[in-house]
């Protein structure tokens, strides 16, 4: 029986590891060696509390920075497996939904404690399975811990008496109740943090979850599922069904017992899910909710009075951190013409000095892209940029042999109608666009179908206030990079085709997995 915490302290973000401390670096090297020795990891499905082989065979995840290495060999679930998981989750919902918020929160608190104790092993798996650097992987694990700690506290808050206007002859209550069975479909680029956040938010709100991890990162997903097994999550509450999007993903999106879909990924896939979820099929007695975060074409606008040294460092980190494979990554750099050349003089040497290689080496900044298809899409975008007359000033070529490497790439002379200004490549490719005025910079920044993150660098307070008001994105940063949102500090989610503005890690997020019930009784 899980024990309830006696005291709930205020939420605090998990600190990042200081790898300049040799003790921390040695501990991480040991975790890398331990994890590497376990390859290939065997990943099984987990349905109704039992491990399974999967009805459609197996598939592999590959180290993107050393493609000869198989990281995980995973069960590949079939449509029948997915349906069985949905039915089992529906049965488990009755008991799970009746547990108190305190009971459900304690599972998250215990999982967070265990992950904190083993954080380097989780991070090491991401170094190999998705190509994260030490710092990027450590940040991913810290964010996963934060999500569990934050959402557990949020569940307790929503479980308390809610304020309603008093009435002289009635006693009135507003209570929040769970929805039912949810489909959770996380991405590979934050394969622990986003997976954990999406899954545990739904669970702690009282729902049951059918989890389909990305086919590029089943190994780290299975580590989280093993953690939830260890803390004793009841059978059927969390169902784990690795498999293809076409077979498993479509099944869990379309099934009539599914009450909501939580998705993070591309706009194309997200729009397809939105369309499928809108169809009310036989046996379905609700409108499915869709919680979607679908990427972006994010900007950093460097104005004429900006601190160029700080801006150059920030753009480099935001554009090329984790190979540009973040929905928040800077892919459009908007420069005021008065500082255009001076900025590039400071920025391009940083790009040229970027280290490529296997991210198990702490000196490496850029690992391999997630797979060959992703690199091919980026190379196609680079080719189109050249065809449209954009000037290649850095990179543009593949990197070292043995992995899916791509050099950090910068194009100047990019116009607002050009391919690399408009299309999300999800790669270390940066489009530089020159503007003649502050007003033109605002227009250029907003000239996109997306609206996730953005950054404005400048010193003039009046312009800063205008930028805060006029720049249209879900997460706007002033005089800092456009990546690196912290749970509780920067609630995260975007506008337009960046998704439903779900604001993960914020005080509104759990409401997406709850429904409000008003109860009135005569005194």
pTM: 0.97
Average pLDDT over residues 164-178: 97
Q: To the nearest whole percent, how much of the chain has pLDDT over 90?
A: 98
**Active-site position among 77, 327, 330, 482:** 327
Q: What is the pLDDT of residue 7?
A: 75
At 221, is the pLDDT very low, low, confident or very high (cuts 50, 70, 90)?
very high
Helix extents (H) in 371-511? 372-387, 419-422, 438-446, 461-470
Domains of the chain listed by start with CATH number:
22-294+502-522 (3.40.605.10), 298-487 (3.40.309.10)
Residue 91 has pLDDT above 50, yes or no: yes
**H/E run at residue 264:** strand 258-264
Residue 382 has pLDDT above 80, yes or no: yes
Number of Cβ atoms within 10 Å of the Cβ of 249: 24
Residue 77 has pLDDT above 70, yes or no: yes
Q: What is the pLDDT of residue 1?
A: 40
Q: What is the pLDDT of residue 47?
A: 98
**How do residues 233-253 score in pLDDT, each as one tens digit?**
999 999 999 999 999 999 999
Q: Are 406 and 427 in contact (CB under 8 A)?
A: yes
Q: What is the pLDDT of residue 71?
A: 98
Beta strand pairing status for 258-264 and 289-293?
A: parallel
**Active-site position among 293, 304, 330, 424:** 293
Residue 332 is encoded by which pair of tokens?
Answer: 């459009």
136 is catalytic: no
Q: What is the dihedral of CA 215, 220, 222, 225, to 10 degrees?
A: -120
Q: What is the pLDDT of residue 346?
A: 98
Name the 3-class secondary structure at 263. Answer: strand
The mean of the pLDDT values for the chain is 97
Q: Biggest alpha carbon distance in the chain? A: 77
Average pLDDT over residues 391-399: 97
**How do residues 317-355 score in pLDDT, each as one tens digit?**
999 999 999 999 999 999 999 999 999 999 999 999 999
Q: What is the pLDDT of residue 171?
A: 97
Torsion angles phi and psi, residue 289, rounded to 5 = -85, 145
170 is catalytic: no
Q: Are 494 and 452 in contact (CB under 8 A)?
A: yes
At 459, is the pLDDT very low, low, confident or very high (cuts 50, 70, 90)?
very high
C-alpha triplet 272, 277, 283: angle, nearest 5° = 145
Q: How far apart are CA 366 and CA 382, in angstroms?
A: 18
Q: Are 108 and 204 in contact (CB under 8 A)?
A: yes
């Amino acid at each position: 029986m899980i024990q309830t915490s006696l005291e709930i302290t205020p939420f605090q973000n998990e600190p990042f590891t200081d790898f300049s401390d040799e003790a921390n670096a040695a501990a991480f090297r040991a975790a890398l060696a331990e994890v590497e020795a376990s390859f290939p990891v065997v990943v099984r499905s987990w349905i109704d509390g039992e491990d399974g082989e999967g009805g459609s065979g197996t598939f592999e995840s590959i180290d993107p920075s050393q493609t000869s290495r198989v990281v995980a060999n995973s069960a590949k679930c079939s449509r029948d497996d997915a349906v069985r998981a949905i039915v089992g989750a529906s049965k488990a919902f009755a008991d799970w939904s009746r547990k108190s918020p305190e009971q459900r929160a304690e599972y998250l608190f215990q999982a967070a404690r265990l992950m904190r104790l083993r954080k380097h092993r989780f991070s090491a798996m991401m170094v190999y399975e998705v190509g994260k650097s030490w710092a990027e992987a450590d940040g991913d694990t810290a964010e996963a811990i934060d999500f569990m700690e934050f959402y557990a506290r949020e569940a307790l808050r929503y479980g308390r008496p809610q304020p309603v206007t008093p009435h002289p002859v009635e006693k009135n209550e507003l209570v929040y109740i769970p929805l039912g069975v949810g489909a959770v479909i996380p991405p590979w680029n934050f394969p622990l943090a986003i997976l954990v956040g999406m899954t545990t938010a739904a669970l702690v709100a009282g729902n049951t979850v059918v989890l389909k991890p990305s086919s590029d990162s089943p190994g780290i997903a299975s580590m989280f599922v093993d953690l939830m097994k260890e803390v004793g999550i009841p059978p059927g509450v969390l169902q784990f069904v690795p498999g293809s999007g076409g077979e498993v993903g479509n099944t869990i999106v379309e099934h009539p017992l599914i009450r909501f879909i939580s998705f993070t990924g591309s706009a194309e896939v997200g729009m397809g899910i939105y369309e499928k979820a809108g169809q009310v099929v036989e046996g379905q007695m609700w409108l499915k909710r869709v919680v979607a975060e679908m990427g972006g074409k994010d900007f950093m606008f460097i104005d004429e009075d900006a601190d160029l040294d700080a801006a150059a460092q920030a753009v480099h980190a935001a554009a090329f951190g984790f190979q540009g494979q973040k929905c928040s990554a800077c892919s459009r750099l908007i420069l005021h013409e008065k500082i255009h050349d001076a900025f590039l003089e400071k920025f391009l040497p940083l790009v040229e000095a970027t280290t490529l290689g296997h991210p198990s080496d702490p000196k490496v900044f850029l690992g391999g892209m997630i797979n060959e298809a992703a690199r091919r899409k980026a190379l196609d975008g680079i080719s189109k940029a050249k065809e449209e007359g954009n000037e290649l000033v850095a990179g543009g070529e593949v990197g070292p042999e043995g992995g899916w490497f791509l050099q950090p790439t910068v194009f100047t002379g990019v116009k607002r109608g050009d391919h690399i200004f408009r299309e999300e490549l999800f790669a270390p490719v940066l489009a530089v666009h020159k503007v003649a005025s502050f007003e033109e910079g605002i227009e250029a920044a907003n000239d996109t179908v997306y609206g996730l993150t953005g950054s404005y660098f400048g010193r003039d307070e009046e312009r800063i206030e205008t930028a805060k008001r006029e720049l249209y994105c879900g997460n706007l940063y002033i005089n800092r990079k456009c990546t690196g949102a912290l749970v509780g500090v920067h609630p995260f989610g975007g506008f337009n085709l960046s998704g439903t503005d779900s604001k993960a890690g914020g005080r509104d997020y759990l409401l997406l997995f709850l429904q409000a019930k008003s109860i009135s009784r005569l005194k």
